Structure 1
Amino acid sequence: MRPRAAILDPNPCGRESIVRGARLWCGHMNDTLKERLGLLGQHGYDRSLVGMEVLEAEGGRARVRLPVEAPVQNMGGALHGGAVATLVDVVGTLAIMTADRDGRPGVSTDLNVSWLAPAPGGSAVLVEATVLKSGRTLAFVQVDVRRETDGVLVAQGRMTKFLS
C-alpha cells in the first residue's frame, strides 16, 4: 500500500525543502531524487512553489497540489501564467526523475503551455505529469493542471528533456 499524502514538516528525508508530503515518499525514492527534492526552493523560480505538496512520485508519474497563494498569483489574484510554466517544468522533471533514470533530471529543451481557464486565489490546483516516452537521449512529458474544486483543466503543458 502506497503512503497517502499529508502536510508534514516541509523537510523531505531530513533536508530543508519547500515540498510538503515528500517525506512520505522517501522510501520509494533513490538518493539522487531525495537530494533534488531537498534543493527545491533554494534557487530561482522554484521559490514560488512554496507549499507544493507531493501526492505521488513514482514510475514516470508525479502528482502535486499547490495552493494558489500570493507568491503564485497575478495582479488579478488568479494563478499566474509564469507559475503555471514553472509547475510544468518542475513537476514534469519530477516525473522524469522517477522513470528508472537514477533520479537524474535532464535538461529542458522545449516547453509548451496552453492556458485554458483561471484558478482563483485562495483555491488550489492539482498537477499531474506523465512521461509519454523516455528514450536514450530524450524524454517527453505531458502535464495537466486542474482546479482542485471542480477538476476543470486550467492548463496543459508538454515538455521535452535532453537526458544527460
Structure 2
Amino acid sequence: MTSQVMAGPPVVAHHGRMHPLARTWIDDVLAGSPVARSLGIEVLDARPEEVRLGLAFRDDLTTVPGVLHGGVIATVMDVAGAAASASGLTDRDDATGGATTQLDISYVSAGTGDLVATATVLDRTRSTTHSHVVVRGADGRLVATAQVTSRIFRRSRA
C-alpha cells in the first residue's frame, strides 16, 4: 500500500456484478462510519463476497511507539468482515442492516506499518455470513487472521 492510496478520498475498484445496494452499504455505511473515518479505514477493492480495506499507519493509533494497537487491528477486521457480508446483498435480500455477532482473532505479528485486510465470505445463509479475514503489512507479512460471523437484519414481514 502506498501513501497515494491513503491520501485523500479513496479510489475504489468495484469488480464483478456487485449490487448498488451492496456498494452503498460498503462505501457509505461501513467505510463511512465515524469509527472507520476516524481510524482512516479505506476501501481498496470490493467485489461480491470479497473486500479489501486499507489502514495507513499513524502514531496516534499505537500502543507503544511503532506498534499499532490490537484494538485498531480488531476494528479493521470487524469492518472488513461486515463489508464482505454486505458485498453479496441485493434487493431480494430485503436487508435493513447487520451486526457482528462473533469476532475471533489470532494475532501473528506486530502491526508496524500500513495494513491491508482482505475479507472473504466463506458461507452465506439468509440471515448470517461467516467470513475469513487476513491482515497483512504492506510488506506482505501476516499480522492477524480472524473469523467473523455477521447477522443480517431483515424487514419484518407483516
Q: Considering the TM-score relative to the shorter chain, is it more than 0.5?
A: yes
Of residues 94, 101, 105, the one that matches 2:83 is 94
Partner AA of 1:119 in structure 2: G
Between Structure 1 and Structure 2, the one with more strand by share is 2
Give TM-score scaled by structure 2 length. Answer: 0.77
Q: Secondary structure at the match of 2:67?
A: coil
Task: Give, in angstroms, the shift of residue 79 of structure 1.
Answer: 1.4
Distance 1:58 1:98 in 2: 6
Distance 2:26 2:88 in 1: 15
Distance 1:73 1:146 in 2: 17
What's 1:136 paired with? 126
Q: CA RMSD in A?
A: 2.7
What's 2:156 paired with? none
Give TM-score scaled by structure 1 length. Answer: 0.74
Distance 1:7 1:148 in 2: 12
Q: 1:53 to 1:46 in 2, by over 3 A?
A: closer
Q: Secondary structure at the match of 2:63?
A: coil
Of residues 132, 146, 149, the one that matches 1:157 is 146
Q: 1:59 to 1:148 in 2, by over 3 A?
A: same
Q: In the comparison of the two structures, how many residue pairs are matched? A: 145
Q: 1:111 to 1:42 in 2, by over 3 A?
A: closer
The residue correspondences of 1:102-117 to structure 2 (distance < 5 A) are 102=91, 104=95, 105-117=97-109
The residue correspondences of 1:53-132 to structure 2 (distance < 5 A) are 53-102=42-91, 104=95, 105-120=97-112, 123-132=113-122
Task: Give, in angstroms, the shift of residue 59 of structure 1.
Answer: 1.2
Distance 1:28 1:9 in 2: 24
Q: 1:28 to 1:133 in 2, by over 3 A?
A: closer
Q: Secondary structure at the match of 1:133?
A: strand
Q: Deviations over 1:63-100 (max 9, x none)?
A: 12211112422223311100111011101111111113
The higher relative CO (CA closer than 8 Å, separation ≥ 6) is in 2
Unaligned runs of 5+ in 2: 154-158
Task: Give, in angstroms, the shift of residue 61 of structure 1.
Answer: 0.1
